[in-house]
Structure 1
Amino acid sequence: MERDEIKELHFISSIENLESILRRGILSHDKASKINHKSVALEDVQDRRRGKRVPNGDLLHSYANLYFHARNPMMYYLVSNGHDDLIVVRVSPAVLDLPDTVLTDGNCASEGTRFYPSPEGLAMLNSELVFARYWTDTNYWPIREKKRARNAEVLVPSLVPSRYISGCYVDTLDKRTRCQAFDDLPAVRIRKEIFFR
């Protein structure tokens, strides 16, 4: 993957968390667990992530996690299971240069996912898989690998400061209106295709 392929990074959240995100930033799982928020995390996935460490020894839950693109298997699962309050927070790729940021070539909860230092680890990521529009296949193992890679992550220690937030994507006019009520949210756009609509 080349750096110039990354126009922005994404964070999937409930719209109910937007005020907190704009005030506090995008928090790690550990930090978010200490405040009132509406989690969209899948508990079975969080169970696999709990206790897992990145190569430097820090716990995975001590990192805020972003996706290279939110139109991914996680979003598909959430939408398919009735989550109608989702938004995608857009984040500047400048976070790739924050100290101790880590890249993964797939979902952190999956076996076989590799971790790399950012930004030099971008060279190890397969952009065709990470940015693939579809991850279907006629065979089980290729589907599994494509889904894993499509959920590649950027892990930022502790939190992503709100100054890196460049806007958000929504799928309805109502959500756009709610997001536009925040003066410090630069750009709000409707992008239904990200939400599989």
Structure 2
Amino acid sequence: MNTAQKQHPQNRQQQLSLAVENAGFGTLKHMTHASNLENILKHGLQSHGNRFQQKDISNQTVNDRRSRRDPHFNRSLHDYVPFYFNPRNAMLYKAQNEFDDRIIILGYSPELLLQNEILVTNGNAACDDTLYSKSFNYLFEIDWDMVFSTSWCQGGVYDNERKQKMMSETLIPAPQGIGKHYLRTIYCQTEQIKSIIEKHFSLGHINVVCDASLFF
């Protein structure tokens, strides 16, 4: 294979693998309350406000703005399942302050990006200046150093642009839910929550990991 072929693989799976490697996010991350896990495993990961949801962790003010329609497929943002590339962002900070160690992060296979009518954004999808793309190749254009910032305060100065970029996301249409065969890892804050999940559920291929570095 020549250099040009390596840089521009023809196979979509190869293209996606290269894009994910370039970005460095591993899995697509969705944060939720631990009480929602049972129904997620049974019925798949659903879009906002579904009938299986036990605990809503969303910010209502931000969520009201997500009733807008996307510029490519004219769907309400609420009709998609949202995933973050960097879950350690402002939404997680608020959710942890409210629900503490009951917040878990679900890591899903990037192969979800091969589905039709997905969206990739360069910031929080609810923000007016966020750009949308309907191709996972947009991953090559995102400023990943900004996305994976450790804080939206730099030198004691609040940086709203950085805060929004840290919430860059992908939106996946899933009218029937996203099945657990795409779920790779459940990230927990404490060994106690990890132990409870492992004892309560038969998880098969799904790993349960205590990774404090993903949380505040």
- Measured after TM superposition, the shift of residue 117 of structure 1 is 1.4
In the alignment, is the contact (CA less than 8 A) between 1:90 and 1:168 conserved in 2?
yes
Name the counterpart of 2:161: 145
Name the counterpart of 2:3: none
After TM superposition, the score normalised by the length of structure 2 is 0.82
- Measured after TM superposition, the shift of residue 38 of structure 1 is 0.7
Task: Tell me the distance in 2 between the aligned counterparts of 1:183 and 1:128.
Answer: 37
Counterpart amino acid of 2:184?
S
Question: RMSD of the alignment, in Å?
Answer: 1.8
Name the counterpart of 1:23: 42
Name the counterpart of 1:89: 106
The residue correspondences of 1:150-165 to structure 2 (distance < 5 A) are: 150-158=166-174, 159-165=177-183
The residue correspondences of 1:129-140 to structure 2 (distance < 5 A) are: 129-137=146-154, 138-140=156-158
Which of 85, 98, 110 aligns to 1:68? It is 85
After TM superposition, the score normalised by the length of structure 1 is 0.89
In the alignment, is the contact (CA less than 8 A) between 2:39 and 2:53 conserved in 1?
no
Task: Tell me the distance in 2 between the aligned counterparts of 1:139 and 1:173.
Answer: 34
- Measured after TM superposition, the shift of residue 3 of structure 1 is 2.3
- Measured after TM superposition, the shift of residue 36 of structure 1 is 4.2
1:194 aligns with 2:214: yes
Q: Secondary structure at the match of 1:177?
A: helix
Task: Tell me the distance in 2 between the aligned counterparts of 1:111 and 1:81.
Answer: 27
State the number of aligned residues. 192
Q: Does the C-alpha gap of structure 1 residues 82 and 165 become closer, same or farther in structure 2, counting only changes over 3 Å?
A: closer
Task: Tell me the distance in 2 between the aligned counterparts of 1:182 and 1:123.
Answer: 37
Name the counterpart of 1:103: 120
Q: Secondary structure at the match of 1:96?
A: helix
Say which one has the larger Rg.
2
Counterpart amino acid of 1:144?
N
Task: Tell me the distance in 2 between the aligned counterparts of 1:192 and 1:115.
Answer: 31
Segments ≥4 residues shifted beyond 4 Å:
none
Task: Tell me the distance in 1 between the aligned counterparts of 2:112 and 2:129.
Answer: 25
Any stretches of 5+ residues in structure 1 without a counterpart? none
Task: Tell me the distance in 2 between the aligned counterparts of 1:114 and 1:60.
Answer: 14
- Measured after TM superposition, the shift of residue 104 of structure 1 is 0.6
Name the counterpart of 2:15: none
Task: Tell me the distance in 2 between the aligned counterparts of 1:29 and 1:19.
Answer: 16
1:116 aligns with 2:133: yes
Any stretches of 5+ residues in structure 2 without a counterpart? 1-17
Percent of aligned pairs sharing the same letter:
27
In the alignment, is the contact (CA less than 8 A) between 1:29 and 1:64 conserved in 2?
yes
Name the counterpart of 1:171: 189
Task: Tell me the distance in 2 between the aligned counterparts of 1:90 and 1:109.
Answer: 22
- Measured after TM superposition, the shift of residue 103 of structure 1 is 0.4
Counterpart amino acid of 2:194?
R
- Measured after TM superposition, the shift of residue 184 of structure 1 is 2.1
- Measured after TM superposition, the shift of residue 2 of structure 1 is 3.6
In the alignment, is the contact (CA less than 8 A) between 2:84 and 2:168 conserved in 1?
yes
For 1:84-115, what per-residue CA distance to the aligned partner results, in whole angstroms no more than 9, with x for missing partners? 31001111111111111110111111120111
- Measured after TM superposition, the shift of residue 64 of structure 1 is 0.3
